[in-house]
Amino acid sequence: MSASPVFIAAEVVEKFLKFPELIQQLERALANFSHGAEGGVVQPLRTIVPVAKYNGFLGVMPAYSAADDSLTTKVVTFYEGGTSSDLPSHQSTVLLFDPRNGILKAVIDGNVITDRRTAAVSAVATKLLKPALSEVLCILGSGAQARSHYEAFTEMFTFKEVRIWSRSRKNAEMFASSMKGAIRVCDSTREAVTGADVIITVTMATKPVLFGEWVKSGAHVNAVGACRPDWRELDDELMKSCVLYVDSREAASHESGDILQSGAAIFAELGEVVNGTKPALTEKTTVFKSLGMAIEDTVSAKLVFDSWSSSTESE
């Protein structure tokens, strides 16, 4: 009989899933993914079940990485506008299996994994695509992803100024006062975006909040929200005038409202830039459209599980 799976809680994931190691691991995973079959990543398009009655969705995100010998599936729910003020709008769990025999080894809190791996991938995009002189960072949104992105970006890069905008000024102020370092709270998206070199959109918006006319030429945008075909964060002008990078071509052309509705052409996958098969056009205005990939969870979960296992062995 197989041993019962271990449960790894959010506090344990927080302890073991750290930047910059996570960023390095995910850069490698993005490269493997974009190598096709040779890269050893098996990742079908995720399944999304709409729960229309409650404006919610359930997503199932399986993947296998031969390089990491890691087999997982994440189950994630997300609710437009959240469910109640006490609950996160996105809740997830990652199941880690023994790839040799299919035994379930661990049930891992997925919220910290989702927040940190998404920010880590945006950090990879930013490292490769930001303009040479990047002094001003702007974050639109003040939720869980805004926090993880702020933490990753202030650890990995040096900005002279960080700005935040949120729909309610109170939330933006709460965000600014809860994080380490100076953050300028802006009253409008336009004020936050104007002159910014790196922009991160991490909202639950379903209509554009970022307009091309405000974006400085040559800036880099990490577009993290709008993961449904009928949701938008960026307007047509920005989508059509930028050089567009994505995590997965397949996912982007099925799920991204910003891409499907604007008709913008995809230039490259981020992993192709890491592999050197597509260039990083840092002098142009670039957008990295992130939808989130299961392989990011697979690599993160393995990292957490291995670190946790070593820590219990040494006890």
Ligand X SMILES: O=C(O)C1=NCCCC1
Q: How many residues bind ligand NAI (CB under 6 A)?
A: 26
- Using rule CB under 6 A, residue 298 touches ligand X: no
Q: Which helix (H) or strand (E) holds 63?
A: strand 56-65
Nearest residue (CB) to ligand NAI, 148 versus 285: 148
Q: Is 135 helix (H, G, I), strand (E, B) or coil?
A: coil
Partner from ligand X, ligand NAI, none contacting 143, C-beta within 5 to 8 A by type: ligand NAI
Contact between 256 and ligand NAI by CB under 6 A: the answer reads no
Please list, in sequence order, all residues whose beta carbon lies within 8 angstroms of the beta carbon of residue 102, skipping any fewer than 6 positions away.
none
> Are the beta carbons of 110 and 92 closer than 8 angstroms?
yes
Residue nearest to ligand NAI (CB): 143
Number of residues that bind ligand X (CB under 6 A): 7
**257 contributes a contact to ligand X by CB under 6 A:** no
Check binding of 302 to ligand NAI (CB under 6 A). no
Binding status of residue 257 toward ligand NAI by CB under 6 A: no
Tell me the CA end-to-end span of the chain in Å, nearest whole number.
Answer: 26
Binding mask 122-141 for ligand NAI (x = CB under 6 A): -------------------x
Q: Can residue 224 be called a binding residue for ligand NAI (CB under 6 A)?
A: yes
Stretch that binds ligand NAI, among 6-14, 42-50, 124-132, 221-229 (CB under 6 A): 221-229
Compare residues 225 and 271 and give the one whose CB is closer to ligand NAI: 225
Contact status, residue 300 vs residue 22, Cβ threshold 8 Å = yes
- Contact string 28-47 vs ligand X (x = CB under 6 A): --------------------
Q: Which residues on adjacent β-strands are paired with residue 117?
A: none
78 binds ligand NAI (CB under 6 A): yes
The candidate with the shortest Cα–Cα distance to 73, out of 101, 105, 49, is: 105
Residues 188 and 195: their CA atoms lie apart, in Å, by: 14
Taking the complex as a whole, the smallest distance from the CB of residue 200 to ligand X amounts, in Å, to 15
Q: Are 185 and 56 in contact (CB under 8 A)?
A: no
Q: 59 is in the binding site of which of ligand X, ligand NAI, none (Cβ under 5 to 8 A by kind)?
A: ligand X
DSSP class of residue 52? Answer: G
How many whole angstroms separate alpha carbon 171 and alpha carbon 181? 17
3-class SS of residue 292:
coil
| Residue (of 217, 172, 175) closest to 196 by Cα position | 217
Q: Which of residues 42-81 bind ligand X (CB under 6 A)?
A: 59, 76, 78
Positions touching ligand X (CB under 6 A) are: 59, 76, 78, 90, 114, 227, 292
